[in-house]
Amino acid sequence: MEITFKYKDKIITTPNLEKKLKRMKLSIDDIEIINNPIIKKEPESGVEDYMLNKRQIIVRSTEDDIRRVCFVDENKGLPTIYELFKKNIWNPETKTGIKYLTPEFLMTMYYEP
């Protein structure tokens, strides 16, 4: 738990008050402790913010046995395989993307029912 204190009109926050005072060559009488408000966290739903309003789909290929889990917007229709992976397609000139993810490989991919 971090502690906030005031010393010579400066506000300082530290996780270890004793260590900080020792380093600054001060005593507890030299500072004024500022009450830290306790921040209550809302209970987590178990779903990250980027996962809200998303649905899970599984994409496979006839070339391998890998199940690729993707999350797409619930409010939009199912994107094409190309739209889903276009940012990851391998570009041999810039050597960016996923090496095996070529336009030819995309043709072997399908949505798992």
Return the pLDDT at 52. 80
pLDDT tens track for 67-80: 999 999 988 889 99
Residue 25, phi-psi category: left (phi > 0), alpha (psi -120 to 50), beta (remainder): left
The residue among 101 and 35 whose pLDDT is bigger is: 101
- Domain boundaries along the sequence of the chain: 3-34, 49-111
The residue among 52 and 94 whose pLDDT is bigger is: 94
- Whole-prediction pTM value? 0.54
**112 near 70, Cβ under 8 Å?**
no
pLDDT tens track for 72-107: 998 888 999 999 999 999 999 999 999 999 999 999
* Per-residue tokens: 13: 């926050």
Angle formed at CA 37 by CA 32 and CA 40, multiple of 5 degrees: 160
Mean pLDDT of all residues belonging to the chain: 87
23 pLDDT above the threshold of 70: yes
* Per-residue tokens: 80: 């094409």
18 pLDDT above the threshold of 70: yes
